[in-house]
């Protein structure tokens, strides 16, 4: 096929581009949740969650979600191989 760019198939994006787009969106959502306006939603002390004020728990939760995203991205890119 003449004029086709690398990584693009007739049906749309290839697997690598889809993974990059999906994970980029995922990390953007995680980042927004930890910054304004996401932090405004969690800006309170009550309720206490696992003994932590809600605001602190909010940040711990989203840092954990970023870690989960990194593990998923590693598995998708490397297929579990080192």
Q: Is 69 helix (H, G, I), strand (E, B) or coil?
A: helix
Residue 26 forms part of a structural domain: yes
Residue 8 forms part of a structural domain: no
Number of domains comprising the chain: 1
Global pTM reads 0.71
Higher pLDDT, 6 or 47: 47
What gap in Å lies between CA 65 and CA 23, rounded to an integer? 12
Q: Which residues form the domain of 64?
A: 14-78
pLDDT 10s digits, 21-80:
989 999 999 988 888 887 888 888 888 999 999 889 999 999 999 999 999 888 888 876
Residue 47 forms part of a structural domain: yes
Query: How distant, in Å, are the alpha carbons of 5, 51, 70, 72 from that of 65?
Result: 34, 19, 9, 11
Higher pLDDT, 5 or 62: 62
Residue 65 forms part of a structural domain: yes
Residue 8 has pLDDT above 70, yes or no: no
Higher pLDDT, 31 or 3: 31
Do residues 7 and 16 touch, judged by C-beta distance below 8 A? yes
């Amino acid at each position: 096929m003449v004029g086709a760019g690398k990584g693009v198939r007739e049906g749309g994006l290839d697997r690598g581009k889809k993974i990059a787009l999906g994970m980029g969106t995922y990390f953007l959502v995680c980042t927004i949740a930890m910054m304004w306006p996401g932090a405004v939603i969690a800006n309170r002390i009550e309720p206490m969650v696992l003994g932590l004020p809600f605001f602190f728990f909010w940040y711990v939760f989203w840092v954990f979600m970023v870690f989960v995203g990194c593990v998923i991205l590693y598995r998708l890119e490397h297929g579990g191989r080192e």
